[in-house]
Structure 1
Amino acid sequence: MELINLKYDEINIKQSRATIETKWMDQFSNFSETSFADHLTKEDLSLLFYLYDNIFLNDFFKNTYKGSFNFSISNRMTKSAGITLCPKNIKSLHPQQVKFEIRISANFLNNYHHLNKEKYVCGLKTKNPLEALLLIMEHEICHVIEFVYFNQSSCRNNRFKNLAYNIFGHKSSYHALPTNGEIAKEKLGLKIGDSVAFYYKSKKLKGIIYKINKNATVMVKDTKGNYRDYKGNQYSKYYVPLDKL
């Protein structure tokens, strides 16, 4: 059966996902819920992908598809929990020339327990960062399948949503994991647009929070600054640790 025609019932999906979790954890000895992603390696992600390939996809990517895969963990991804990179010219390539990369955000996994709220991924409730990772990987696998069959992929489209539901039981294409902005607001009372002060080279500066990732991007009025607002005010940009504001 072709991958785009696969369909599993809810019980089968849960049992298969539990089997993957058990098999993967047997070989992933550095599990720590508080710093989960810091111990992940690309080999761990590769193992997880091919477990899914074996149990859900009948070893399609191992035995049938001729393309190749890379895996990586990113400390810079603060909007997407995962991303699948595919050659833009995939339509003109032979399968053996195609190389995918599945990249997972360390930020969202390590931030998992920083807020006391329910965490949903792909419309399914999770209880730890490992469950979140499994669902993120499933989402990215659906992107890969779409790229292989249709040379393009978008999780906003019904085709993707149907694929993700039929194979993995996903009810949404998005996640509700704690963001840096949510953590900063709840833990430190900081949000975009707030006026803040910080010390730079022993000098106290005042500015406005423009963006919050791992650090805050603060815009400080400066007649020699490289940034200008619609009123003509000039600013310099500073990246400031949140606990220094």
Structure 2
Amino acid sequence: MLNLLELKYSINEINDKRDLISGLIKEKSVNIKDKSIKIISSEELTILFNLYDEIFLKNWFKNNYKGKIKFSLSKRMTKSAGITICPKNIASTSEKNLVLEIKIGIDFFFHYNMITEPKLVCGIETKNSFHALQIVFEHEICHLIEFILFYESSCKKDRFKSMAYNLFKHTSSYHQLPTHKKIAMEQLGVSIGDIVSFSYREKIQEGILYKINKKAIVMVKDKKGSFMDKSGNKYMKYYVPLNKLKLIKK
């Protein structure tokens, strides 16, 4: 059996293989026809995985793994661009009954061009949203391999780091893809702690920008509020669409 922990590619080999996959996915996929991801389905992730298995891993999964791998997309993931889900009882589960899942936070790729700063993934400066997806997917493939071989996986440990570097030349386990916070900072000029205004029921409200996800959380002073700061001031919490915010004061 091929030992994946001993498999190692040069940077030129890796780039050539990534480019090959980028070209093949356009032929095999219904939705991905260029390097900018506008629409994608879980079927595309299955195709992508099979291409990686063939081109990078010499069909190791196809020839050796007897369990099931699921692929899914999420619009609720706001920090991790990808996650690999493994059952807690993996060590006592027979491989043929094992189900692992790779879930991709798709908004990171839909919003890829909404910030202009370099977008690094796993230490690699990405060129476009499909390239970014490839690097995230590679990271999750490394988690799959560890779970199957060792029943546990941690990208903070040396074994994972060594495998990710040997297979894909990853030098980090983090991404700098567009979060809602980064988009708000670049496009609206607002950041946590700023004083902002917004319209609510035809009345202009002003408050402190407390948190940014898909919507902003703004804390507005209100004597009837349910939240209190250290000084005894009371606040009401409002969930505000990002495009409705207006910066008042930094």
Same fold (TM over 0.5): yes
Alignment match, 1:169: 169
Q: Measured at CA, do residues 229 and 94 of structure 1 come closer, stay the same or move farther in structure 2, by a change above 3 Å?
A: farther
SS in 2 for 1:164: helix
Alignment match, 1:191: 191
CA distance in 1, matches of 2:141, 2:22: 16
Q: Deviations over 1:165-215 (max 9, x none)?
A: 011111221112222212211211110111112122223322211111222
Q: Is the 8 A contact 2:36 2:128 kept in 1?
A: no
User: Percent of counterpart pairs with the same letter?
Assistant: 51
Alignment match, 2:122: 122
The answer to whether structure 1 residue 236 and structure 2 residue 236 are counterparts is yes
AA in 2 matched with 1:60: W
SS in 2 for 1:39: coil
The answer to whether structure 1 residue 112 and structure 2 residue 112 are counterparts is yes
Q: Deviations over 1:126-171 (max 9, x none)?
A: 2110100111100000011111112111111121110100111112
Q: Is the 8 A contact 2:26 2:33 kept in 1?
A: no
CA distance in 2, matches of 1:97, 1:23: 31
Alignment match, 1:202: 202
Which range moves more in the overlay, 111-120 or 220-229?
Answer: 220-229
SS in 2 for 1:30: coil
CA distance in 2, matches of 1:226, 1:88: 39
Q: Is the 8 A contact 2:26 2:34 kept in 1?
A: no
Which range moves more in the overlay, 143-152 or 229-238?
Answer: 229-238
Q: Is the 8 A contact 1:82 1:102 kept in 2?
A: yes
Q: Is the 8 A contact 1:4 1:145 kept in 2?
A: no
Alignment match, 2:248: none
CA distance in 2, matches of 1:32, 1:209: 39
Alignment match, 1:24: 25
Q: Deviations over 1:39-78 (max 9, x none)?
A: 1000000110111111111222223112211111111111
AA in 2 matched with 1:113: N
CA distance in 1, matches of 2:79, 2:175: 10
Residue correspondence of structure 1 range 77-226 to structure 2 within 5 A: 77-226=77-226
CA distance in 1, matches of 2:22, 2:143: 21
TM-fit CA distance, 1:234: 3.7
TM-fit CA distance, 1:11: 2.2
The answer to whether structure 1 residue 63 and structure 2 residue 63 are counterparts is yes
TM-fit CA distance, 1:31: 3.6
| Number of aligned residues | 244
CA distance in 2, matches of 1:209, 1:33: 37
RMSD, aligned CA: 2.0
Q: Measured at CA, do residues 60 and 33 of structure 1 come closer, stay the same or move farther in structure 2, by a change above 3 Å?
A: closer
Report the structure, 1 or 2, having the larger helix content. Answer: 1
TM-fit CA distance, 1:243: 1.5
Q: Which runs of 5+ in 2 are unaligned?
A: 246-250
Q: Is the 8 A contact 1:216 1:240 kept in 2?
A: yes
Provide the TM-score with structure 2 as the length reference.
0.90
Q: Is the 8 A contact 1:108 1:178 kept in 2?
A: yes
Alignment match, 1:15: 16
AA in 1 matched with 2:83: I
Alignment match, 1:5: 6
AA in 1 matched with 2:77: M
Provide the TM-score with structure 1 as the length reference.
0.91
SS in 2 for 1:12: helix
AA in 2 matched with 1:166: N
